[in-house]
Amino acid sequence: MALIINREQTSYEVEDHIARITLKRPEKANALTRQMRKEIQNALFDIKTNPDIWLAIIDAEGKIFCAGKDLLEQVDPDTDDGTVHSNDELFVYMRTVYKPIIVALQGACMAQGAGFALSSDIVLMTENASIGWPQVKRGISSVSGPTQGAHAMVWPTAMGYLLRGKQILPEEAWRLGLCNEIVKGGKDELMETAERWAGEILANAPLAVQGLKEAARRCLELPLEARLRLARQIADRVLESEDSKEGILAFREKRDPVWRGE
């Protein structure tokens, strides 16, 4: 379970197998600080290790989802003991969480903040949302842009956005495959949509869903033969689960299965 910590810039709750992380620093455009990273890291650890959690939703308060790193934050090097992930380490760790992660964007998701969108599995955007890397406009290079954005899009398209510091608007994000659905309305409609997606995913066997995501993530950089071996190993592991037996039995008995996550 998650360690008990003081949550100052996020909220975290778990209910009905769904973990919910909310960024709560709207007065600073939810810019990432060391404290915020610590809280998100703590929540992600719980999501990864808590068997009662089958899915996660990440959202934010305010008009901007996340403006990226807080460039004005002053951190005393003497207080940094290495236990809190950097922005880069946070998104690497996020990709090792093999439970589905839905991110709900109600506004701009910029710079390092774009790592949330590119490290999640389902991306939902309101009509006011966007994804982008404006650092070049401030004389700053980017990390998540060239390492994640350029790998999620074809090269000319990625460079077209990165080199100009231009935001990717919802319709374009959907066309490029960076967004699953554009939500008409505000935050309430966005979260209703997130809950709908969550419900549709949770209707399936949780261990099978997690196995599928694990295979997809771990196979990304492997050649075909190695991908097939790894995916088969994971599929065989899932096949031994109680849920797999229940799914086959429910099919035979012509009823809905009851998943236990075991």
Structural domains of the chain in order of their starting residue, each with its CATH number: 10-202 (3.90.226.10), 206-253 (1.10.12)
- Residue ranges of alpha helices (H) inside the chain are 34-49, 87-94, 114-119, 144, 150-152, 155-162, 170-175, 187-202, 206-219, 224-239, 242-253
Q: ∠32-128-98 over CA atoms, to 5°? A: 50
Check: CB of residue 111 under 8 Å from CB of residue 68.
yes
Q: Which residues pair with 208 in a beta bridge?
A: none
**Tens of pLDDT, residues 138-187:** 899 999 999 999 999 999 999 999 999 999 999 999 999 999 999 999 99
pLDDT higher than threshold 90 for residue 4: no
Q: At what angle do helices 34-49 and 87-94 cross, to 10 degrees?
A: 20
The C-alpha atoms of residue 149 and residue 158 are separated, in whole angstroms, by 7
| Residue 2: pLDDT band with limits 50, 70, 90 | low
Residue 98 has pLDDT above 90, yes or no: yes
